[in-house]
Amino acid sequence: MVDLNSANEVQLRTVKGIGHTRAQAILTWRAHNGVFHSAADLRKVKGFGEKTIAKVGPHLSIQGQPLMMAPKHGPMATHP
């Protein structure tokens, strides 16, 4: 699994369905918003709708937890 909060572009691109554009979108979102807490945060990233998340989600994690099992709301989930 690839951790959304620590992976670089090369690591993100190992996930089928994440190419250069989506990997850059993840890195940009992370640089502007901090860490991901849940799939809900990933939905805020351009290029990640429900179908894409369903496809790539099983291959992603957040702090060691599979993305699809990560808490829906984290302590920073509502920060601006």
Residue 48 belongs to some domain of the structure = yes
Q: How confident is the model at residue 78 (pLDDT cuts 50, 70, 90)?
A: very low
Report, as an integer, the average pLDDT of 2-6: 97
Q: Can you give the CATH number for the domain in which 37 is found?
A: 1.10.150.310
Residue 25 belongs to some domain of the structure = yes
The reported pLDDT for the residue numbered 72 is 56
Residue 75 belongs to some domain of the structure = no
The reported pLDDT for the residue numbered 53 is 94
Residue 18 belongs to some domain of the structure = yes
Contact 77, 41 (CB under 8 A): yes
Range of the domain at 42: 2-69
The reported pLDDT for the residue numbered 80 is 39
Q: How many domains does the chain have?
A: 1
pLDDT, tens digit, 9 for 90 and up, residues 17-68: 999 999 999 999 999 999 999 999 999 999 999 999 999 999 999 998 998 7
Residue 8 belongs to some domain of the structure = yes
